Chain A
């Protein structure tokens, strides 16, 4: 089997596989107040963003189904209101696996609107690849959007969902809470590891860079590149613009190096041997796990090589 296809299947079923193999009993759901109406929840899977207020509760990304009771308990420390909206930043199971369970627990008898880019719905409803579990229909978005963005007013602030085409996947969204001045990025920005480029689901390295530049364009630091707009990443700690700039620089520089080597006719093995990520390895690299440095280099190489052809 093609190695990237194998990786892709692994990513596609990340919610199922990881959920099956992980013991959630001892995982705490920790709440970090961010700014204004917005909170960050750190548990298992991707980060969850909460926006609470008099209109109800809005949840960005839902981790795994097994975490839903703990997420709900955390929400209840902040609000007695029902969940009105769930927004998925992308299709992967560690961000969408809790959609149905959380909707059932927190909807207050009504089904929350589950918003995502239409590519997310297309991916979730597609016939699964051999060995891959189908996504339960209770997890499917019921309010998909087309085009560059969707916006609405909730809890006294504008909520703007921007589509970031062909980045981590083809269905990525970032969510901007305009009054609170917070952006939830999904896996376009993961400050403790290299960006995961899911080529099989339409991800590209240039799309990641474009999306990071868009985030930098929206964020405005307060004084001396600090504070101002806060950024909740898909995984990892709370950040600000300067952290996104560091990350954007890293992805851009590595792209340039690999593109240069491809331009010189180097094979993938020669590119790996040249260690184009050496200076970032101790900060973002991994030799084990579901997204290693080798996989990252391979994805960038393959993506840039295809583009060149």
Chain B
């Protein structure tokens, strides 16, 4: 009888602690893994590298005219952070925590803090609607999350215009970011999907990974703009059409056909290989051959 009663209590307890929908705790300190797209994410992308991006002609021309001098000459660019769609790809040491409503014990929100630009984001889990179209846009946007089994799916709107690659390839303020967060024990995988009616002809899908690092201490990023090159007010460095001499560097350095480096949805699919005809990739890697951490990502391979 005693055993039977104890079982009943345990059964009731178990019922009370079963979540209404599957909920995973992402809370903790997460250190980034850079085994995917290392050269792009650590030292930064090469100029003219639009590979793997389903961009349209407008995006391509915008990137072609981009001059990185803008960051040194225009003070307003110097402390401009990554957008929510890019921030986890940079210096992505990540902290996640969550908040519950005291009275109902319902999950209100997840919060994230990233090393780069101290970027913080709230992911609302309480079913609130997104703001109206005429509301302000921010670098991190407005995010809401829903559970799909053990996966957290996040929708972010109200992003400011920014970039999908740090070589001038733009992402507009009309874009919607969808994220899928999975936790596999001590590993976290985030798959991001960017839909941008202004600059992309297809959704851009990318993934990033972290491992749990409870001892991680994220420092203060800090940023204060300081014009270092005196220029007249209103100077906006850019390349006039047809004058950007750096666009072919990437193709030349990596032995790639120039057309293939120009991006576009067509170049993402296996059928595109047929268009390259007799192209043969270089026999040997010459540039960024190993790049998985901050410490081994060098332009020239070690010999």
Listed in ascending order, the chain A residues whose CB lies under 8 Å from chain B are 30, 32, 40, 42, 209-210, 213, 216-217, 221, 223-226, 230, 236-243, 245-246, 248-249, 252-253, 256-257, 260, 274, 276, 278-283
A224 touches B80 (CB 8 A): yes
Enumerate B130-187 residues with CB–CB distance to A below 8 Å.
Answer: 132-139, 160-161, 172-174
- Report how far A135 CA is from B142 CA in the complex, Å: 43
B160 touches A242 (CB 8 A): yes
The residues in B between 69 and 86 inclusive whose CB is less than 8 angstroms from any CB of A are 70, 74, 76-77, 79-81
A30 and B134 within 8 A (CB): yes
Contacting residues, chain B, for A42 (C-beta < 8 A): 134
Interchain CB contact under 8 A, B134 and A224: no
Q: Could you write out 15 A-B pairs with CB less than 8 Å apart?
A: A217-B233, A224-B81, A226-B138, A238-B135, A243-B160, A243-B161, A248-B234, A252-B234, A257-B240, A278-B57, A279-B59, A279-B61, A280-B58, A282-B58, A283-B174
B159 to chain A, nearest CB (A): 12
- Residue pair A253, B172 in contact (C-beta under 8 Å): no
B236 touches A248 (CB 8 A): yes
The docked-state distance in angstroms from the alpha carbon of A40 to that of B131 is 14
Q: A181 CB to closest chain B CB, in angstroms?
A: 13
Name the CB-closest residue of A to B160.
Answer: A242
Contact B172 A226 (CB under 8 A): no
Residues of B in contact with A, size category: 35 or more
Residues of chain A within 8 A (CB-CB) of B56 are 282
Question: B223 at interface (Cβ–Cβ under 8 A)?
Answer: yes
A245 contacts B74, C-beta separation under 8 Å: yes
Chain B interface, DSSP helix/strand/loop, else mixed: loop
In the complex, chain B residues whose CB is within 8 Å of the CB of A281? 58
**B residues adjacent to A (C-beta < 8 A):** 56-62, 65, 70, 74, 76-77, 79-81, 117-119, 132-139, 160-161, 172-174, 197-199, 223, 233-234, 236, 238, 240-241
Nearest B-chain residue to A210, judged by Cβ: B234
Q: Which residues of B contact A217 (CB under 8 A)?
A: 233
**Contact between B236 and A249, CB atoms less than 8 A apart:** yes
Cα of A216 to Cα of B199 in the assembled complex, Å? 26
Contact in complex: B139, A238 (CB < 8 Å) = no
Contacts A278-B61, A279-B59, A279-B61 given; indicate if A226 touches B139 (C-beta within 8 A): yes
A224 pairs with B137, CB closer than 8 A: no
Chain B residues with CB below 8 A from A249, complex form = 70, 74, 236, 238
A224 touches B238 (CB 8 A): no
| Residue in A230, A248, A283 with the greatest tally of chain B CB atoms within 10 Å | A283
- Select one of A213, A225, A243, A282 contacting B234, CB under 8 A: A213
Using known A-B contacts A217-B233, A256-B240, determine if residue A282 contacts B136 with beta carbons closer than 8 Å.
no
**With A213-B233, A249-B236, A253-B238 as contacts: A225 and B58 at CB distance below 8 Å:** no
Sample of 16 further A-B pairs with CB below 8 A, known A253-B236, A283-B174: A40-B134, A42-B134, A213-B233, A221-B76, A224-B139, A226-B139, A239-B136, A242-B160, A243-B137, A246-B161, A249-B70, A252-B234, A256-B240, A276-B241, A283-B58, A283-B198
Tell which of A32, A257, A274 touches B135, judged by Cβ atoms closer than 8 Å.
A32
- The reply to whether B76 and A225 form a contact with Cβ atoms under 8 Å apart is yes
